[in-house]
Chain A
Amino acid sequence: DIVMTQSPDSLAVSLGERATISCKSSQTVLYSPNNKNYLAWYQQKPGLPPKLLFYWASTRESGVPDRFSGSGSGTDFSLTISSLQAEDVAVYYCQQYYSIPLTFGGGTKVEI
């Protein structure tokens, strides 16, 4: 199984400041034949189901504000919020879809 490790577990960021979350996979999720990273990011606000933010590591889902960005390749990935807004308070999860079983990182809680 591919183990996904996120860091930090939580972080507090001032409004308007940058927040960066790391996600590392225990083996590559880069599929060489198509040069795509099989990694997604989700945002989960309290009491709500997760919402897709990114797929292919850096492709923003429609409607996601451009202050959010995804980057990385192979085994090291990051999610950045360039200017934190109050509505961004949530837990963020990475997920690999390179192989079954599909696995998630443990989550990173972002607070103000």
Chain B
Amino acid sequence: DVKVTQSSRYLVKRTGEKVFLECVQDMDHENMFWYRQDPGLGLRLIYFSYDVKMKEKGDIPEGYSVSREKKERFSLILESASTNQTSMYLCASRPFRDRGWETQYFGPGTRLLVL
């Protein structure tokens, strides 16, 4: 089974703090994604990565950056957390052009509260 894990289920941070959200997948998937989920808005893509050291902006990248130094790990960074970044953050991964490449596998999510 594909396993995508996220470092924290719940996180509380203060405005202005630098926040790291970590995601690890154990299936050697090339592509990884970060989404945020807000009630009434569904999921929106923040950033994704084709492969190590490669990244591309999604629909709402402002206020975020990412890092992919190793294939299995994709980090989302909030350089200076703000209250409007309070949300649920979901990580996902998928293989690239292998069998089942079209399916994304999601982590359990990190619920972030910025005070």
A, B assembled together = no
* Chain A residues within 8 Å of B, Cβ to Cβ: none
Which residues of B come within 8 Å of A, CB atoms? none
